[in-house]
A and B are shown apart, each in its own frame.
Chain A
Protein backbone atom coordinates (compact mmCIF):
# COMPACT_ATOMS: atom_id res chain seq x y z
CA UNK A 1 0.00 0.00 0.00
CA UNK A 2 1.42 3.33 -1.11
CA UNK A 3 0.51 6.25 1.16
CA UNK A 4 0.23 9.62 -0.58
CA UNK A 5 0.72 12.33 2.02
CA UNK A 6 -2.23 14.73 1.95
CA UNK A 7 -1.16 17.83 3.88
CA UNK A 8 -2.89 20.42 1.73
CA UNK A 9 -0.03 20.76 -0.73
CA UNK A 10 0.41 19.10 -4.08
CA UNK A 11 -1.45 17.26 -6.75
CA UNK A 12 -2.55 14.18 -4.84
CA UNK A 13 -5.48 13.27 -7.11
CA UNK A 14 -3.38 13.05 -10.25
CA UNK A 15 -0.96 10.63 -8.52
CA UNK A 16 -3.80 8.51 -7.14
CA UNK A 17 -5.40 8.30 -10.58
CA UNK A 18 -2.23 6.99 -12.16
CA UNK A 19 -1.94 4.22 -9.56
CA UNK A 20 -5.63 3.42 -9.73
CA UNK A 21 -5.47 2.98 -13.51
CA UNK A 22 -2.57 0.57 -13.05
CA UNK A 23 -4.31 -1.35 -10.25
CA UNK A 24 -1.69 -0.42 -7.69
CA UNK A 25 -3.06 0.02 -4.16
CA UNK A 26 -2.67 3.51 -2.72
CA UNK A 27 -4.42 5.80 -0.27
CA UNK A 28 -4.27 9.36 1.01
CA UNK A 29 -2.75 9.86 4.45
CA UNK A 30 -4.06 12.89 6.35
CA UNK A 31 -3.08 11.80 9.88
CA UNK A 32 -0.39 9.70 11.53
CA UNK A 33 -2.62 6.60 11.89
CA UNK A 34 -3.14 6.54 8.12
CA UNK A 35 0.52 5.59 7.72
CA UNK A 36 -0.02 2.27 9.49
CA UNK A 37 0.30 -0.51 6.93
CA UNK A 38 1.97 1.69 4.33
CA UNK A 39 4.87 0.08 2.46
CA UNK A 40 5.87 3.18 0.50
CA UNK A 41 5.28 6.90 0.81
CA UNK A 42 4.84 9.70 -1.72
CA UNK A 43 5.35 13.25 -0.51
CA UNK A 44 3.95 15.69 -3.09
CA UNK A 45 4.12 19.46 -2.82
CA UNK A 46 3.49 22.73 -4.62
CA UNK A 47 3.76 26.36 -3.55
CA UNK A 48 6.30 27.91 -1.23
CA UNK A 49 8.79 25.99 0.95
CA UNK A 50 7.66 27.52 4.25
CA UNK A 51 3.97 27.02 3.61
CA UNK A 52 4.55 23.35 2.67
CA UNK A 53 6.76 22.86 5.72
CA UNK A 54 4.33 24.50 8.14
CA UNK A 55 1.42 22.55 6.63
CA UNK A 56 3.34 19.34 7.23
CA UNK A 57 4.31 20.33 10.77
CA UNK A 58 0.66 21.13 11.50
CA UNK A 59 -0.62 17.88 9.98
CA UNK A 60 0.42 15.78 12.97
CA UNK A 61 2.23 13.37 10.63
CA UNK A 62 5.75 14.73 11.08
CA UNK A 63 6.90 12.26 13.76
CA UNK A 64 5.28 9.26 12.13
CA UNK A 65 6.91 10.22 8.83
CA UNK A 66 10.33 10.67 10.41
CA UNK A 67 10.17 7.25 11.98
CA UNK A 68 8.76 5.53 8.86
CA UNK A 69 11.51 7.00 6.69
CA UNK A 70 14.51 7.10 9.04
CA UNK A 71 13.89 4.03 11.20
CA UNK A 72 11.61 1.68 9.24
CA UNK A 73 13.35 2.78 6.02
CA UNK A 74 10.19 2.81 3.90
CA UNK A 75 10.90 3.99 0.35
CA UNK A 76 9.73 7.60 0.07
CA UNK A 77 9.42 9.74 -3.07
CA UNK A 78 9.29 13.53 -2.80
CA UNK A 79 7.88 15.45 -5.76
CA UNK A 80 8.76 19.10 -6.50
CA UNK A 81 8.31 21.04 -3.24
CA UNK A 82 7.85 17.64 -1.57
CA UNK A 83 11.43 16.98 -2.68
CA UNK A 84 12.54 20.41 -1.46
CA UNK A 85 11.27 19.93 2.10
CA UNK A 86 13.24 16.67 2.44
CA UNK A 87 16.44 18.77 2.52
CA UNK A 88 18.09 20.82 5.28
CA UNK A 89 16.89 24.30 4.30
CA UNK A 90 15.89 26.59 1.44
CA UNK A 91 16.77 30.02 0.13
CA UNK A 92 13.03 30.38 -0.43
CA UNK A 93 12.11 30.25 3.26
CA UNK A 94 13.08 30.51 6.90
CA UNK A 95 11.92 27.16 8.23
CA UNK A 96 14.15 24.12 8.58
CA UNK A 97 13.47 21.23 6.22
CA UNK A 98 12.94 17.61 7.24
CA UNK A 99 16.70 17.08 6.98
CA UNK A 100 16.40 13.59 5.49
CA UNK A 101 19.04 14.29 2.88
CA UNK A 102 22.24 16.31 2.93
CA UNK A 103 21.16 18.97 0.45
CA UNK A 104 19.85 22.50 0.30
CA UNK A 105 17.40 24.37 -1.90
CA UNK A 106 18.70 27.28 -3.97
CA UNK A 107 17.30 29.82 -6.40
CA UNK A 108 18.05 28.98 -10.04
CA UNK A 109 21.14 30.86 -11.18
CA UNK A 110 19.47 33.54 -13.31
CA UNK A 111 22.80 35.09 -14.31
CA UNK A 112 23.61 32.04 -16.38
CA UNK A 113 20.24 31.66 -18.09
CA UNK A 114 20.64 33.22 -21.52
CA UNK A 115 17.08 33.10 -22.70
CA UNK A 116 14.17 35.20 -21.72
CA UNK A 117 12.24 34.42 -19.54
CA UNK A 118 14.64 33.17 -16.92
CA UNK A 119 12.33 32.17 -14.08
CA UNK A 120 10.38 29.99 -13.54
CA UNK A 121 11.86 27.05 -15.40
CA UNK A 122 8.64 25.95 -17.08
CA UNK A 123 8.07 23.21 -19.62
CA UNK A 124 9.43 19.89 -20.84
CA UNK A 125 13.12 19.29 -20.37
CA UNK A 126 15.32 16.29 -20.99
CA UNK A 127 17.25 14.66 -18.14
CA UNK A 128 20.54 12.83 -17.75
CA UNK A 129 21.34 10.07 -15.31
CA UNK A 130 24.97 9.55 -14.25
CA UNK A 131 24.18 6.01 -13.11
CA UNK A 132 21.41 3.56 -13.95
CA UNK A 133 18.68 3.09 -11.38
CA UNK A 134 15.49 0.96 -11.58
CA UNK A 135 13.43 4.12 -10.88
CA UNK A 136 14.28 5.24 -14.42
CA UNK A 137 13.66 1.89 -16.14
CA UNK A 138 12.11 2.40 -19.56
CA UNK A 139 12.15 6.21 -19.27
CA UNK A 140 12.76 8.24 -22.43
CA UNK A 141 15.35 10.66 -21.06
CA UNK A 142 15.44 12.81 -24.17
CA UNK A 143 11.66 13.36 -23.95
CA UNK A 144 12.15 14.06 -20.25
CA UNK A 145 9.63 15.48 -17.82
CA UNK A 146 7.49 18.54 -17.11
CA UNK A 147 9.19 21.09 -14.86
CA UNK A 148 7.70 24.12 -13.10
CA UNK A 149 9.94 25.67 -10.46
CA UNK A 150 12.22 28.58 -9.54
CA UNK A 151 14.25 26.81 -6.85
CA UNK A 152 16.23 23.58 -7.12
CA UNK A 153 17.88 21.09 -4.80
CA UNK A 154 21.66 21.04 -4.60
CA UNK A 155 23.00 17.76 -3.18
CA UNK A 156 26.12 18.01 -1.05
CA UNK A 157 27.09 14.40 -1.69
CA UNK A 158 27.89 13.58 -5.29
CA UNK A 159 26.75 10.02 -4.71
CA UNK A 160 23.17 11.11 -3.95
CA UNK A 161 22.64 12.69 -7.39
CA UNK A 162 20.37 10.44 -9.46
CA UNK A 163 19.56 12.75 -12.39
CA UNK A 164 20.45 16.18 -13.72
CA UNK A 165 18.88 18.63 -16.15
CA UNK A 166 20.16 21.72 -17.96
CA UNK A 167 18.71 25.14 -17.31
CA UNK A 168 21.28 27.89 -17.44
CA UNK A 169 23.61 25.32 -15.94
CA UNK A 170 23.35 21.69 -14.96
CA UNK A 171 21.30 21.18 -11.79
CA UNK A 172 20.29 18.14 -9.74
CA UNK A 173 16.74 17.12 -10.66
CA UNK A 174 16.55 13.80 -8.82
CA UNK A 175 18.30 12.37 -5.78
CA UNK A 176 18.46 9.07 -3.97
CA UNK A 177 20.02 8.09 -0.68
CA UNK A 178 19.11 4.64 0.59
CA UNK A 179 15.28 4.59 0.76
CA UNK A 180 14.91 8.33 0.12
CA UNK A 181 14.06 9.58 -3.38
CA UNK A 182 13.21 13.04 -4.67
CA UNK A 183 12.34 14.41 -8.10
CA UNK A 184 12.11 18.06 -9.11
CA UNK A 185 9.85 17.50 -12.10
CA UNK A 186 6.18 16.50 -12.09
CA UNK A 187 5.85 12.81 -13.03
CA UNK A 188 2.09 13.06 -12.42
CA UNK A 189 1.94 15.42 -15.42
CA UNK A 190 4.56 13.82 -17.63
CA UNK A 191 2.54 11.30 -19.63
CA UNK A 192 4.11 7.86 -20.21
CA UNK A 193 7.45 8.79 -18.58
CA UNK A 194 5.61 9.81 -15.42
CA UNK A 195 3.46 6.69 -15.36
CA UNK A 196 6.58 4.55 -15.79
CA UNK A 197 8.36 6.36 -12.97
CA UNK A 198 5.46 5.89 -10.54
CA UNK A 199 5.18 2.22 -11.54
CA UNK A 200 8.92 1.77 -11.10
CA UNK A 201 8.69 3.33 -7.64
CA UNK A 202 5.91 0.92 -6.68
CA UNK A 203 8.14 -2.00 -7.67
CA UNK A 204 11.28 -0.90 -5.79
Chain B
Protein backbone atom coordinates (compact mmCIF):
# COMPACT_ATOMS: atom_id res chain seq x y z
CA UNK B 1 0.00 0.00 0.00
CA UNK B 2 0.96 3.62 -0.51
CA UNK B 3 3.06 5.21 2.25
CA UNK B 4 3.51 8.81 3.28
CA UNK B 5 6.72 10.35 1.98
CA UNK B 6 9.45 11.69 4.25
CA UNK B 7 11.47 14.21 2.30
CA UNK B 8 14.76 15.91 3.21
CA UNK B 9 14.83 19.46 1.87
CA UNK B 10 18.22 20.95 0.99
CA UNK B 11 18.81 24.67 0.46
CA UNK B 12 21.58 25.89 -1.79
CA UNK B 13 23.20 29.30 -1.86
CA UNK B 14 26.33 30.16 -3.90
CA UNK B 15 26.49 26.46 -4.86
CA UNK B 16 26.92 25.53 -1.20
CA UNK B 17 24.53 23.67 1.06
CA UNK B 18 23.04 26.01 3.68
CA UNK B 19 20.33 26.01 6.33
CA UNK B 20 18.30 29.02 7.37
CA UNK B 21 16.22 30.05 10.38
CA UNK B 22 12.96 31.82 9.48
CA UNK B 23 14.40 32.25 5.96
CA UNK B 24 17.35 34.22 7.36
CA UNK B 25 20.92 33.73 8.64
CA UNK B 26 21.92 30.99 6.22
CA UNK B 27 24.55 28.74 7.75
CA UNK B 28 27.02 27.03 5.39
CA UNK B 29 27.01 23.25 5.78
CA UNK B 30 29.09 21.84 2.92
CA UNK B 31 28.80 20.53 -0.62
CA UNK B 32 25.26 19.50 -1.64
CA UNK B 33 26.54 16.58 -3.72
CA UNK B 34 27.88 14.87 -0.60
CA UNK B 35 24.43 15.16 0.97
CA UNK B 36 22.86 13.64 -2.18
CA UNK B 37 25.26 10.70 -1.97
CA UNK B 38 24.50 10.11 1.70
CA UNK B 39 20.74 10.28 1.06
CA UNK B 40 21.20 7.67 -1.70
CA UNK B 41 22.80 5.33 0.83
CA UNK B 42 20.00 5.99 3.29
CA UNK B 43 17.41 5.20 0.59
CA UNK B 44 15.29 8.28 1.24
CA UNK B 45 11.78 8.48 -0.23
CA UNK B 46 12.39 11.68 -2.18
CA UNK B 47 14.70 14.68 -2.12
CA UNK B 48 13.98 18.38 -2.62
CA UNK B 49 16.73 20.88 -3.46
CA UNK B 50 15.95 24.59 -3.60
CA UNK B 51 18.39 27.18 -4.88
CA UNK B 52 17.39 30.12 -2.67
CA UNK B 53 19.53 32.62 -4.62
CA UNK B 54 18.19 32.03 -8.09
CA UNK B 55 14.71 33.55 -7.76
CA UNK B 56 15.74 36.53 -5.67
CA UNK B 57 18.66 37.51 -7.88
CA UNK B 58 16.66 36.78 -11.02
CA UNK B 59 19.27 34.47 -12.53
CA UNK B 60 18.48 31.34 -14.55
CA UNK B 61 18.80 27.93 -12.89
CA UNK B 62 22.35 26.58 -12.78
CA UNK B 63 21.84 23.61 -15.11
CA UNK B 64 25.34 22.25 -14.67
CA UNK B 65 24.85 22.02 -10.92
CA UNK B 66 21.35 20.48 -11.29
CA UNK B 67 22.64 17.93 -13.78
CA UNK B 68 25.37 16.93 -11.34
CA UNK B 69 22.78 16.27 -8.59
CA UNK B 70 20.37 14.49 -10.93
CA UNK B 71 23.08 12.16 -12.23
CA UNK B 72 24.02 11.23 -8.69
CA UNK B 73 20.48 10.90 -7.29
CA UNK B 74 18.93 7.44 -7.23
CA UNK B 75 15.81 8.84 -5.58
CA UNK B 76 13.13 11.11 -7.00
CA UNK B 77 14.41 14.66 -7.09
CA UNK B 78 12.51 17.94 -6.99
CA UNK B 79 14.38 21.12 -7.97
CA UNK B 80 13.24 24.69 -7.32
CA UNK B 81 14.80 28.09 -7.87
CA UNK B 82 14.78 30.57 -10.73
CA UNK B 83 12.40 28.61 -12.99
CA UNK B 84 10.19 30.99 -14.97
CA UNK B 85 9.40 29.36 -18.31
CA UNK B 86 8.32 26.11 -19.94
CA UNK B 87 11.70 25.89 -21.72
CA UNK B 88 13.57 26.07 -18.43
CA UNK B 89 11.29 23.51 -16.79
CA UNK B 90 11.66 21.11 -19.71
CA UNK B 91 15.43 21.50 -19.69
CA UNK B 92 15.51 20.60 -16.00
CA UNK B 93 13.25 17.55 -16.45
CA UNK B 94 15.51 16.38 -19.27
CA UNK B 95 18.50 16.56 -16.93
CA UNK B 96 16.86 13.73 -14.98
CA UNK B 97 14.89 15.67 -12.37
CA UNK B 98 11.38 14.30 -11.63
CA UNK B 99 9.71 17.49 -10.44
CA UNK B 100 10.22 21.19 -10.96
CA UNK B 101 9.16 23.58 -8.21
CA UNK B 102 7.93 27.11 -8.79
CA UNK B 103 6.84 29.74 -6.32
CA UNK B 104 7.03 33.54 -6.76
CA UNK B 105 6.35 33.38 -10.50
CA UNK B 106 3.20 31.29 -10.02
CA UNK B 107 1.89 33.42 -7.17
CA UNK B 108 2.29 36.51 -9.35
CA UNK B 109 0.78 34.88 -12.43
CA UNK B 110 -0.77 31.38 -12.10
CA UNK B 111 -1.27 31.25 -15.88
CA UNK B 112 2.41 30.50 -16.43
CA UNK B 113 1.44 26.94 -15.38
CA UNK B 114 -0.45 26.42 -18.66
CA UNK B 115 2.65 26.28 -20.86
CA UNK B 116 4.81 24.56 -18.26
CA UNK B 117 2.20 21.84 -17.76
CA UNK B 118 1.97 21.27 -21.51
CA UNK B 119 5.75 20.95 -21.72
CA UNK B 120 6.55 18.67 -18.79
CA UNK B 121 3.18 17.24 -17.72
CA UNK B 122 1.31 18.67 -14.77
CA UNK B 123 2.26 15.78 -12.45
CA UNK B 124 5.85 17.05 -12.56
CA UNK B 125 4.99 20.57 -11.41
CA UNK B 126 5.33 21.48 -7.74
CA UNK B 127 4.11 24.81 -6.42
CA UNK B 128 5.79 25.99 -3.21
CA UNK B 129 3.80 28.41 -1.07
CA UNK B 130 5.82 30.34 1.51
CA UNK B 131 3.44 31.34 4.29
CA UNK B 132 3.82 33.62 7.30
CA UNK B 133 1.35 34.52 10.01
CA UNK B 134 0.41 38.19 10.25
CA UNK B 135 0.27 40.10 13.55
CA UNK B 136 -3.43 39.31 13.61
CA UNK B 137 -2.95 35.58 13.07
CA UNK B 138 -3.88 35.55 9.38
CA UNK B 139 -1.81 33.35 7.05
CA UNK B 140 -0.23 35.37 4.26
CA UNK B 141 1.67 34.38 1.13
CA UNK B 142 5.17 35.64 0.52
CA UNK B 143 7.30 35.71 -2.62
CA UNK B 144 11.00 36.20 -3.37
CA UNK B 145 12.19 33.90 -0.61
CA UNK B 146 10.08 35.52 2.10
CA UNK B 147 11.02 39.07 1.19
CA UNK B 148 7.81 40.31 -0.38
CA UNK B 149 4.25 39.95 0.88
CA UNK B 150 1.70 38.95 -1.76
CA UNK B 151 -1.88 40.18 -1.83
CA UNK B 152 -3.13 36.81 -3.06
CA UNK B 153 -5.20 34.71 -0.67
CA UNK B 154 -4.01 31.15 -0.05
CA UNK B 155 -7.32 29.35 -0.57
CA UNK B 156 -8.12 31.30 -3.72
CA UNK B 157 -4.68 30.77 -5.21
CA UNK B 158 -4.79 27.01 -4.55
CA UNK B 159 -8.12 26.67 -6.30
CA UNK B 160 -6.75 28.72 -9.20
CA UNK B 161 -3.59 26.65 -9.66
CA UNK B 162 -5.40 23.34 -9.26
CA UNK B 163 -7.82 24.36 -12.00
CA UNK B 164 -4.90 24.99 -14.36
CA UNK B 165 -3.03 21.87 -13.27
CA UNK B 166 -0.37 21.12 -10.70
CA UNK B 167 1.10 17.85 -9.40
CA UNK B 168 1.88 18.78 -5.83
CA UNK B 169 1.71 21.67 -3.38
CA UNK B 170 4.46 22.30 -0.85
CA UNK B 171 3.41 24.49 2.04
CA UNK B 172 6.43 26.13 3.64
CA UNK B 173 5.94 27.81 7.02
CA UNK B 174 8.35 30.76 7.26
CA UNK B 175 7.73 31.29 11.00
CA UNK B 176 8.74 27.71 11.82
CA UNK B 177 11.65 27.39 9.36
CA UNK B 178 14.77 26.18 11.17
CA UNK B 179 13.12 26.44 14.60
CA UNK B 180 12.63 22.65 14.93
CA UNK B 181 9.56 23.24 17.12
CA UNK B 182 7.15 21.20 15.08
CA UNK B 183 4.90 21.81 12.06
CA UNK B 184 2.17 24.44 12.12
CA UNK B 185 -0.70 21.95 11.98
CA UNK B 186 -3.37 24.66 11.77
CA UNK B 187 -1.81 25.85 8.54
CA UNK B 188 -1.76 22.27 7.23
CA UNK B 189 -5.47 21.85 8.10
CA UNK B 190 -6.32 25.04 6.23
CA UNK B 191 -4.48 23.90 3.11
CA UNK B 192 -5.56 20.25 3.25
CA UNK B 193 -9.20 21.30 3.39
CA UNK B 194 -9.01 23.34 0.22
CA UNK B 195 -6.59 21.27 -1.90
CA UNK B 196 -6.99 18.08 -3.91
CA UNK B 197 -3.45 17.30 -5.05
CA UNK B 198 -0.59 15.71 -3.10
CA UNK B 199 0.50 17.97 -0.28
CA UNK B 200 3.93 18.24 1.32
CA UNK B 201 4.59 20.21 4.48
CA UNK B 202 7.86 21.96 5.24
CA UNK B 203 9.04 24.12 8.12
CA UNK B 204 9.46 23.26 11.76
CA UNK B 205 10.06 19.51 11.99
CA UNK B 206 12.50 18.97 14.83
CA UNK B 207 12.01 15.33 15.72
CA UNK B 208 10.76 12.07 14.27
CA UNK B 209 7.71 12.53 16.48
CA UNK B 210 6.85 15.72 14.59
CA UNK B 211 6.80 13.70 11.34
CA UNK B 212 4.70 10.95 12.91
CA UNK B 213 2.22 13.44 14.37
CA UNK B 214 1.70 15.01 10.94
CA UNK B 215 1.23 11.65 9.22
CA UNK B 216 -1.06 10.31 11.95
CA UNK B 217 -3.45 13.22 11.42
CA UNK B 218 -3.28 13.65 7.64
CA UNK B 219 -2.45 10.06 6.51
CA UNK B 220 -1.03 10.27 2.98
CA UNK B 221 1.08 13.41 3.08
CA UNK B 222 4.63 14.51 2.38
CA UNK B 223 6.58 15.29 5.55
CA UNK B 224 9.56 17.43 4.58
CA UNK B 225 12.34 18.69 6.81
CA UNK B 226 15.62 20.57 6.56
CA UNK B 227 17.27 20.99 9.96
CA UNK B 228 16.08 17.59 11.22
CA UNK B 229 18.09 15.79 8.53
CA UNK B 230 21.21 17.98 8.44
CA UNK B 231 21.83 18.79 12.12
CA UNK B 232 22.43 16.73 15.22
CA UNK B 233 22.13 17.78 18.85
CA UNK B 234 21.42 21.09 20.57
CA UNK B 235 24.60 22.66 19.18
CA UNK B 236 23.47 21.83 15.66
CA UNK B 237 26.54 19.91 14.53
CA UNK B 238 26.30 19.10 10.83
CA UNK B 239 25.31 15.47 10.37
CA UNK B 240 23.24 14.15 7.48
CA UNK B 241 20.67 11.63 8.72
CA UNK B 242 17.31 10.08 7.84
CA UNK B 243 14.54 8.25 9.65
CA UNK B 244 15.62 4.86 11.06
CA UNK B 245 13.93 1.60 10.08
CA UNK B 246 11.68 1.58 13.16
CA UNK B 247 10.21 4.98 12.25
CA UNK B 248 9.70 3.80 8.66
CA UNK B 249 7.74 0.83 9.93
CA UNK B 250 5.62 3.09 12.13
CA UNK B 251 4.89 5.38 9.18
CA UNK B 252 3.76 2.39 7.18
CA UNK B 253 1.29 1.54 9.93
CA UNK B 254 -0.07 5.01 10.60
CA UNK B 255 -0.36 5.96 6.90
CA UNK B 256 -3.26 3.51 6.72
CA UNK B 257 -6.68 5.07 6.59
Contacts and interface: CB of A to CB of B under 8 A. Distances in A.
A191 B43 contact: yes
Contacts of B199: 117
A191 B257 contact: no
A91 B220 CA distance: 26
A126 B124 CA distance: 22
B205 to A, nearest CB: 18
Contacts of B73: 14, 189
Given A11-B96, A115-B220, A194-B74, A120 B3 contact: no
Q: In the complex, which of the residues B93, B121, B222 has the most CB atoms of chain A within 10 Å of its own CB atom?
A: B121
Contacts of B53: none
Contacts of B195: 117
Contacts of A121: 2
B54 to A, nearest CB: 21
A147 B43 CA distance: 15
A115 B219 contact: yes
B80 interface: no
A124 B197 contact: no
Chain B interface bracket (under 10, 10 to 19, 20 to 34, 35 or more): 35 or more
Interface string B60-73: 00000001001111
B76 A191 contact: no
A186 interface: yes
Interface in A98-141: 114-126
A115 B257 contact: yes
B150 interface: no
Q: In the complex, which of the residues A114, A149, A189 has the most CB atoms of chain B within 10 Å of its own CB atom?
A: A189
B71 A17 contact: yes
A192 interface: yes
Nearest to B2: A125
Interface string B19-55: 0000000000000000000001001011000000000
Interface residues of A, number: 37
B4 interface: yes
Interface string A11-25: 111100110000000
A189 B74 contact: yes
A166 interface: yes
A48 B45 CA distance: 24
A94 to B, nearest CB: 15
Interface string B96-136: 10100000000000000000000011011000000000000
Contact of A120 (B1, B43, B77, B198): B198
Contacts of A8: 94
Contacts of A149: 123
Interface in A132-173: 146-150, 166-167
A195 interface: yes
Given A13-B96, A192-B43, A124 B5 contact: yes
Contact of B71 (A13, A125, A150): A13
Interface of A: 8, 11-14, 17-18, 46-48, 114-126, 146-150, 166-167, 186, 188-189, 191-192, 194-195
Given A117-B195, A122-B123, A191-B43, 10 more contacts: A13-B96, A14-B70, A120-B123, A120-B198, A123-B2, A123-B46, A146-B46, A148-B98, A189-B77, A189-B98
